[in-house]
Structure 1
């Protein structure tokens, strides 16, 4: 088993430019013929087209596939057709977004924890999205692609919230991507987070098995709530939400008892959106600095240096600190560790003094 701790320091970067201008629709040529290279080998046809035709709604992509306008090696193909190296894909004329006016993502490297010809693991800082979208112009993946123009393939294996720091895994080959994603889906990986929560966590509370339901607020913001089937199914809305919820399991162990807080080691057995944040808040111990599910008064006091006199802390204390998986090529067990960021360590030193 390989066990790697820490990583190389991040490279210096230029200032981030302001987001680009709005995109303008434009038409593609009458027909485009695209040859499948190593970076797209094994990919589904629908995913290949969504990536190729940035700015085209997915509904339209599926429509042109069903209509037969998209051809693979001159024959009709289904959305789930797997592309092979050298396949020729006929892409019909569609309207895509003109991104020529957008400022490109700035090239940026991140601290490397592990890297070989198949995969890359970096230590993502808090406050950086893993990819662009939902009002974010770019993230880790776009910046890394700019920093590595010679990379033929680079894709995210999994996600981390923008506010969460720590280990992020990327694949450098499609075969590695599919193998690693299969491990994540099959719950064959070990993911452990460090979380600082308000109050004294009960030592006997080691498992949280509560279903989660994802929804959108009236403002269109993605949120998650816990759900439970009511004993008497009189509330149809609650029952529908409970039925829509997905079982979610979080394992919790107290790492340190601190003054007014608890440092936890949290391992997730299911990978739901905002799972740790919602589960810990549901138990009455929100994560320090969590702007969505936390104690807002406490967060403000931490940021001002009032909760811990003389020490300001203005981020969410959630860090992906350990990741274990089987190497996609050799099958060897790889265990990676990323140390706590300096600002988190500094807060702990004050709380335990």
Structure 2
């Protein structure tokens, strides 16, 4: 496949780029010809400069900033066809939509965006399936193997507003997870500072009590079995892999977690972003969205005899009907 050389250039950030993360800005101005891994490498190595200074991928740009982009080679863009299974499921997975945003139930195994050997992620599928939509951007991300609700902005103003809500911790996110062992407490607050490192080209979190950032996760026990427990996790901060490393550190790793669970009793990561609540950026009304419990949870429950679970704690914000349905399906 032919490669095209793009010369270095310095761009002035316009108003529509104000408030955008540097990595997202670079992806947009290079017309998504570069994988995320390459963009992040260019930033880390100092090849990319903002106002002649070094920067990070999460640097927020403002109108008037000068961004230097080094020379790069990019493959001629191919026309990608969305996976047929994703196309068939696409409209079923949208759980909310209005003129400014949409929420979609991302399946496990689908990355939020392409890069690092992944040609099409969730956002690329959306753009291909909705060519008439001029603006579609991820407001946040889930790990590739985590399923659940992802918010997509359909307007630049909505994207900026959602980023502000996430930054100020004004978006309430709840996750379901099946973890190893008997979780003894009905409620536990985990406060362990985290840092990240790159190992074998993969980002990994670790406990860092000296230089780590404050990271807090609330854990509610929903169901307890002999060998496994179902919990709801409420992250009060938004660190990389926060829930996964916190649960692993206290001795209750998530089933199927290839990074933080050495036993790996199942191939699927049993972590699901099942509920999100926030003030709508335009209407200022509270929106609470929930997504169905994935079949993989039900299948794992049956396989691991979770019908033995007891001690349901209704203080956790789990849909009562979802919980009843899950328990009934396990008992069948």
What's the TM-score, normalizing by structure 2? 0.75
Q: Which residue of 2 aligns with 1:62?
A: 49
Q: Does 1:199 align with 2:181?
A: yes
1:323/1:335 contact within 8 Å kept: yes
Root-mean-square deviation (CA, aligned residues, Å) is 3.2
Alignment partners' CA distance in 2, 1:161 and 1:196? 17
Q: Which residue of 2 aligns with 1:306?
A: none
Structure 2 segments unaligned to the other structure (5+ residues) = 54-59, 308-330
Q: Which residue of 2 aligns with 1:266?
A: 233
Q: Which residue of 2 aligns with 1:252?
A: 219
Higher radius of gyration, 1 or 2 = 1
Q: Does 1:51 align with 2:6?
A: no
2:4/2:76 contact within 8 Å kept: no
Q: Does the C-alpha gap of structure 1 residues 185 and 346 become closer, same or farther in structure 2, counting only changes over 3 Å?
A: same
1:45/1:82 contact within 8 Å kept: no
Q: What are the Cα deviations for residues 205-237 of structure 1, in whole angstroms up to 9, with x where unaligned?
A: 5100001110122x2321111123xxxxxxxxx
Q: Which residue of 1 aligns with 2:306?
A: 351
Q: Does 1:124 align with 2:106?
A: yes
Q: Which residue of 1 aligns with 2:145?
A: 163
Q: Does 1:82 align with 2:96?
A: no
Q: Which residue of 2 aligns with 1:149?
A: 131
Q: Does the C-alpha gap of structure 1 residues 49 and 128 become closer, same or farther in structure 2, counting only changes over 3 Å?
A: closer
Give the structure, 1 or 2, with the largest relative contact order (CA under 8 Å, sep 6 or more).
Answer: 1
Alignment partners' CA distance in 1, 2:20 and 2:143? 26
2:179/2:231 contact within 8 Å kept: yes
1:45/1:81 contact within 8 Å kept: no
Q: Which residue of 2 aligns with 1:106?
A: 82
Alignment partners' CA distance in 2, 1:338 and 1:177? 22
Q: Does the C-alpha gap of structure 1 residues 36 and 215 become closer, same or farther in structure 2, counting only changes over 3 Å?
A: closer
What's the TM-score, normalizing by structure 1? 0.71
Q: Does the C-alpha gap of structure 1 residues 332 and 223 become closer, same or farther in structure 2, counting only changes over 3 Å?
A: same
Q: Does the C-alpha gap of structure 1 residues 262 and 177 become closer, same or farther in structure 2, counting only changes over 3 Å?
A: same
Q: Which residue of 2 aligns with 1:174?
A: 156
Task: Please state whether the residue corresponding to 1:177 is helix, strand or coil.
Answer: helix
1:290/1:315 contact within 8 Å kept: yes
Which ranges of 4 or more aligned residues in structure 1 deviate by more than 6 Å? Answer: 30-37, 89-94
Shift of 1:136: 2.3
Corresponding pairs, count = 283
